[in-house]
Amino acid sequence: MTAKILVVDEDENIYLQLQNSLLRNTYEILSAKSGKEGLELALKESPVLIILEANLADLDGFSVCKLLRAEDYKNPIVFLTNKTSEIDAVIGLELGAQDYVRKPLQIKELIARIEVQLKKNNENNGNRKINVNDLEIDLERRKVKHKGELKELTHKEFQLLYALAQCPNKVFSRNELLNNVWGWAQFGQTRTVDIHIGYLRKKFEENPRRPKLLQTIRGIGYTLNSEMMQ
C-alpha cells in the first residue's frame, strides 16, 4: 500500500506542485480544501504527513491540529501559512506540529522540510533498516553491508549514506545533505559533502573515478543509484 501525504489548503496550487514533484514516485498525494474535510480524510487515510494551512474558513488549522492530536494521530504535521506573527508559530508548535512554514515559499524548500520530518518519523517508528539492492543499512546497530561484506564507516559517512539511501535515485543538492547530516550551522560549506562522498566511493565503488553507486549529478549534487549497483 502506498504511503500518503495529505495537503489541507483552500489553494490547490500547493497540492498540484507536490503532485508534480519527485514525491509522487514514493507517496500518494491527497488533497482537502477545508478543515473539516481535512480532519475527516486524515482520520480515514492515516497519512504519513499532513501539510496544513492555518487559515481555513470553516475550521482553522490550529483546531484541526488540536483535534488530530486528541484522536492520537502521531505522524508529522507541517503548518503552511501566510501568518507572520511569531506567536502563531509558537501556538502551532505547542499544539503538536513539527514545523511551521511561511508563504510564499519555494516548493523545493517545502519538499526538503517534508523529507526531514519523514526521516525523523521513520526513525522514531522503528524503521531501523534500509535495503537497496546489494546495500543493507542497519540504523540500530550502525552497521552497513555491501554485497554481504561489512563496511567500516565513520559517524558522518554513515549518516551521509543513510540520508542518500532513504530516497534512492533522488538527487540531493549539497546544501540538502549539509542540512540533513551536518545541520544548518555548516550551511554553505559544500566542499564537506564532496570530501565525504569521496570517502564513501573508496569504500563502495569498484572504480571510484567512475562511480556507479554514488553518482554526481553535474550542477546539482548527488544520488544513490539503485538501478546500477554491481
Residue-range domain boundaries for the chain: 4-124, 129-224
Could you please report the per-residue DSSP string of 119-148?
HHHHHHTT--EEEETTEEEETTTTEEEETT
- DSSP label at residue 180: I
pLDDT in the model for residue 186: 47
Query: Regarding beta strands 99-102 and 28-32, do their DSSP bridges make them parallel or antiparallel, or are they unpaired?
Result: unpaired
**Would you say 213 and 205 are in contact if contact means Cβ atoms under 8 Å apart?**
yes
pLDDT in the model for residue 230: 43
Residue 57 corresponds to which cell in the numbers above?
Answer: 474558513
Query: How big, in percent rounded to 5, are the helix, strand and coil portions of the chain?
Result: 40, 20, 35
Residue 75 corresponds to which cell in the numbers above?
Answer: 505522524
pLDDT in the model for residue 34: 94
- Most trustworthy range by pLDDT among 85-99, 137-151, 203-217: 203-217
pLDDT in the model for residue 210: 93
- DSSP label at residue 37: H
Q: For residue range 47-75, what is the model confidence (pLDDT) as tens digits?
A: 999 999 988 888 999 999 999 988 888 88
Phi and psi torsions of 100, nearest 5°: -140, 110
In the predicted model, what is the mean pLDDT of residues 162-186? 80
CA neighbours closer than 13 Å in the CB half-sphere of residue 95: 24
Q: Which fold has domain 129-224?
A: Arc Repressor Mutant, subunit A (1.10.10)
Residue of 210 and 138 predicted with greater confidence:
210
d(C-alpha 54, C-alpha 116), whole Å: 21
Residue of 169 and 133 predicted with greater confidence:
169
Question: Taking the model in full, what pTM does it have?
Answer: 0.54
Residue 62 corresponds to which cell in the numbers above?
Answer: 490550529
Query: Regarding beta strands 77-81 and 99-102, do their DSSP bridges make them parallel or antiparallel, or are they unpaired?
Result: parallel
- 3-state class (DSSP) for residue 191: helix
Fold equal for 4-124 and 129-224:
no
CATH superfamily ID and name for 4-124: Response regulator (3.40.50.2300)
